[in-house]
Amino acid sequence: MKTTAFKAVIGSAFSRKHRINGGSFHQIMAVEAKTALQRLRITLHGAVQGVGFRPFVYRLATEMGLTGWVLNSSAGLVVEVEGAADQLTHFEQRLETERPKASVVTVHEAEWIAADGSTRFEIHSSDTDSGKTVNVLPDLATCSDCREELFDPANRRFQYPFTNCTNCGPRYTIVVDIPYDRPNTTMREFVLCPDCREEYENPANRRFHAQPNACPVCGPKLNGTIEDAAESLLQGEIIALKGIGGFQLLVDARQPAAVARLRQRKHREEKPFALMMPSLEVAREYCEISPAEVQLLESQAAPIVLLQPKPATDIAWNVAHCSPYLGVMLPYSPLHHLLMEECRFPLVATSGNHSDEPIAIANEEAIARLKDIADRFLMHNRPIVRACDDSVVRLTRGRAGILRRARGYAPLGIRIRNHLPPVLAVGGHLKNTVAIAVGQEVFVSQHIGDLDTIEARGAFERAISDLCRLYSFQPEIVACDLHPDYASTQWAENSGLPLLRLQHHHAHVAACAAENNLDTPYLGVSWDGTGYGLDGTIWGGEFFRVEGNYFERVAHLRPFGLPGGDVAVREGWRSAASLLFTTFGPDSQIPETADAAQEKPRFENSRIRHMLEHGINVVQTTSVGRLFDAVACLTGVARHNRFEGQAAMLLENEIGRLRTEEAYPFSGGDWEPLIRAVIADRRAGAPASLIAAKFHNALVSWILEIASSTGLKQVVFSGGVFQNRYLTERAAAILESHGFTVYTHRQVPPNDGGIALGQAFMAGK
Ligand code: ZN
Ligand code: ZN
Ligand code: FE
């Protein structure tokens, strides 16, 4: 059998050359084909279950007068069709062009086999023997058909909060085991009523084998009313709502006192909150939304999309006061639709936890953990198997740049070009995800979070055992980061399995190469905040020549000292102080900034100066993330990172609509001329927007300089710094205009959420 791997959008894979007997077969058989019956076996891999694929195949085959069968196996979807050869070819084409919207086909295999004279087309029951590589589908936002029924008083599911069909509804968060059949989901507790059963068993119904099918008679129920919840929200109360991937905390986004209470109770001081808007129309009143962003908002994943807020709206000042963006999502479950229909105003919708803890999923657990935050609980009795936060995306290079990959995306497999050994990759420490490799497929877990607390480490361990159990996976190798202090590394060391320790920035670019099916050699540009370097210093401004599994560090940022080490990650002004100290000598001063009054700059300065002068507690770094912190401070934009990447985000946002080709000198990654120029511009009264743009442009020139010197034509961008849209888009455009091909992330985040994929990929070489 011949196999072809390809991305979700296919077409070419359906050409005959991929079939086992190739073109010559067709020529020889051409005359016979018109009369004799042929049989074609098609196997589809990817996200092909739980999306109405079998009924679709049934309808298509029946309509075309073909016989045979279709079944779900643990490896994918298998179809055998019998009929005239040209009809079978046509069937195969239509299979691709008309397949269910929610499906993702990663591999299509076709094989001619002997006709067996079958007389009708059947849907066979699932086969569970083969290896478990089928993709479990992510949770899908409510489809338009179900939404219509939800608001149709004549429909039996009018206002039923758990309405779903084969095109929509929960998947990953309710599946206990695969294959994805009702007895393997948390819906097994609910016995279908006669009406629902008839829908479930009728291949012509859009709920045929919709595993979570339910109605007010037989399905899950709420413990309270939507009207009461909406009334509480209007009163400024905090509601804990059991959603799809866990509990959410909701509050009226227009009431600053209510938002402040949520911040205080959740211990979340400044990190921005996301909003759920009643509709796209309402969202437009608050944000600038491009057509591509509309597509993201309305996609089946229905993620939080970072948008540009409009000035002077009634959103409370403290919803996202430290961020230039508003994170916005639309209702994605019937329950959310009903609540938002009742509220008709924007809600803060944040994960149901205390800061730095995992999201609550079970009812009793949520009451115990959230009772000191929420004033009221709106829950239901459909169990959630695993926690899955809302995903976060930002439009970058015209498509979704995933910043947090969870609900709606996880656990779709990422198809890579080579066969991997059974490796478990445990990821980094911040924004952790884990991954397992099954053949050519890597399953990356949903976002787990920072591994700083015991609770988070528990969630990390649960995610590993869950993923392994779901795919009946026995790891033989564990891949981890080089950093000895990462909780994930320590877990790997204690696992008792053979260990593969991989350099952080190498894993970053490997992840991007893996998901782009890219062969080495390539130039990897790996820029982030912090990662353990081979020499024990903190890396983060690296250029690698990657060849096979080896990398050569061809260039890096000129190192500088971080006074206080990790403390400097939160206190970006320390990086600024260090660069000024080296550039201008011990008498340099940190420019005044907006919040300088709250600190004790004079005292702090003398302490830092002492540290720098004597090299006490100063760690060397090549991190571009820390350089961003320094420039943000010198520009007067931010002295601190209240959350990871905040200063860099604010600096990027300063650029606004300014377009300039001017750039600071930055040859060889030497920041000294750059710092001198920034200070000169500051003294001359240059606006922050210009300084910010010239800084970003300098980074781009440096990438071009290194790329031009290596002779490598393929360039890969990865690392948290490439969450920066201006930098990523400008660097990609300029490199491509110089003949380079630039690869950026599509399926996993450029930040440490992508590390696990890179680790898994590297275990294969
Ligand atoms: Zn639906
Ligand atoms: Zn029912
Ligand atoms: Fe990183």
Ligand 2 centroid – CA 156 distance (Å): 9
How confident is the model over 240-285, as pLDDT tens digits? 999 999 999 999 999 999 999 999 999 998 899 999 999 999 999 9
Ligand 2 centroid – CA 153 distance (Å): 17
Ligand closest to 542 (CA) is 3
Query: For residue 307, what are the β-bridge partners?
Result: 326
- Residues 166, 181 within the same domain: yes
Ligand closest to 220 (CA) is 2
- Among 82-91, 117-126, 650-659, the range scoring the smallest mean pLDDT is 117-126
Q: What is the pLDDT of residue 52?
A: 82
Ligand 2 centroid – CA 207 distance (Å): 11
Ligand 1 centroid – CA 212 distance (Å): 11
How confident is the model over 170-190, as pLDDT tens digits? 999 999 988 788 999 999 999
Ligand 3 centroid – CA 428 distance (Å): 8
Ligand 1 centroid – CA 358 distance (Å): 29
Outline where 637-749 has alpha helix (H).
Answer: 646-655, 671-683, 688-710, 725-737
User: Tokens at residue 696, please?
Assistant: 């970003």
Ligand 3 centroid – CA 62 distance (Å): 52
Ligand 3 centroid – CA 761 distance (Å): 16
- Residues 258, 359 within the same domain: yes
Neighbouring residues of the ion ligand 3, judged by CB less than 5 Å: 528, 531, 752
CA distance 644 to 754: 16
- Residues 239, 211 within the same domain: no
Give the DSSP H/E element, type plus range, for residue 441. Answer: strand 435-444
- Residues 424, 382 within the same domain: no
- Residues 497, 350 within the same domain: no
CA distance 675 to 660: 19
Ligand 3 centroid – CA 94 distance (Å): 43
Give the DSSP H/E element, type plus range, for residue 40. Answer: strand 38-47
Ligand 2 centroid – CA 545 distance (Å): 59
Evaluate whether residue 13 is within a structural domain.
no
Ligand 3 centroid – CA 460 distance (Å): 18
Ligand 2 centroid – CA 144 distance (Å): 20
Ligand 3 centroid – CA 544 distance (Å): 15
Evaluate whether residue 128 is within a structural domain.
no
Helix then strand then coil, in percent of the chain rounded to 5, is 35, 20, 40
Residue 128, burial from CB neighbour count under 10 angstroms (0-12, 13-18, 19+)? middle
Cβ neighbours, 10 Å, residue 553? 19
Ligand closest to 192 (CA) is 2
Among the candidates 361, 394, 427, a domain finishes at 394
Evaluate whether residue 530 is within a structural domain.
no
Among the candidates 335, 359, 394, a domain finishes at 394
- Residues 610, 461 within the same domain: no
CA distance 474 to 483: 25
Q: What is the pLDDT of residue 378?
A: 98
Ligand closest to 750 (CA) is 3
Ligand 3 centroid – CA 619 distance (Å): 17
- Residues 598, 728 within the same domain: yes
pLDDT above 50 for 27: no
Ligand 3 centroid – CA 754 distance (Å): 9
Ligand 1 centroid – CA 65 distance (Å): 28
Ligand 3 centroid – CA 226 distance (Å): 42
For helices 624-634 and 573-584, give the axis angle rounded to 10 degrees: 80
- Among 64-73, 79-88, 99-108, 721-730, the range scoring the smallest mean pLDDT is 99-108
Evaluate whether residue 409 is within a structural domain.
no
Evaluate whether residue 527 is within a structural domain.
no
- Residues 163, 247 within the same domain: no
Ligand closest to 163 (CA) is 1
Among the candidates 219, 245, 268, a domain finishes at 219
Ligand 2 centroid – CA 200 distance (Å): 10
CA distance 479 to 492: 8
Query: For residue 479, what are the β-bridge partners?
Result: 425, 500
Q: What is the pLDDT of residue 596?
A: 47
Q: What is the CATH number of the domain that holds 196?
A: 3.90.870.30
Ligand 3 centroid – CA 720 distance (Å): 6
Under 8 Å between Cβ of 708 and 673: no
- Residues 729, 752 within the same domain: no
Expressed as residue numbers, the domain containing 46 is 37-123
How confident is the model over 625-682, as pLDDT tens digits? 999 999 999 999 999 998 899 999 999 999 988 999 999 999 999 999 999 999 999 9
Total count of domains within the chain: 5
Evaluate whether residue 32 is within a structural domain.
no
Ligand 2 centroid – CA 341 distance (Å): 24
Ligand 3 centroid – CA 354 distance (Å): 25
Q: What is the CATH number of the domain that holds 242?
A: 3.90.870.40
Q: What is the CATH number of the domain that holds 501?
A: 3.30.420.360
Evaluate whether residue 531 is within a structural domain.
no
- Residues 563, 642 within the same domain: yes
CA distance 526 to 514: 15
> What is the pTM (predicted TM-score) of this model?
0.90
3-state class (DSSP) for residue 524: strand
- Residues 714, 759 within the same domain: no
Evaluate whether residue 129 is within a structural domain.
no
Under 8 Å between Cβ of 179 and 74: yes
For range 412-427, the mean pLDDT: 94
Cα–Cα distances (Å) from 260 to 128, 183, 320, 345, in that order, read 52, 44, 11, 18
- Residues 244, 296 within the same domain: yes
Ligand closest to 217 (CA) is 2
Q: What is the pLDDT of residue 628?
A: 98
CA distance 571 to 639: 7
Task: Check residues 531 and 46 and name the one with the higher pLDDT.
Answer: 531
Ligand 2 centroid – CA 194 distance (Å): 7
Q: What is the CATH number of the domain that holds 639?
A: 3.30.420.40
pLDDT above 90 for 72: no
Ligand 3 centroid – CA 719 distance (Å): 5
Torsion angle defined by CA atoms of residues 594, 595, 598 and 604, in that order, rounded to the nearest 10 degrees:
-100
Ligand closest to 432 (CA) is 3
- Asked if residue 170 has a cis previous peptide bond (ω within 30° of 0), the answer is no
**In the chain, count of helices (H) and strands (E)?**
23, 28
584 CB-side CA count, 13 A: 17
Q: What is the pLDDT of residue 708?
A: 98
Ligand 2 centroid – CA 191 distance (Å): 8
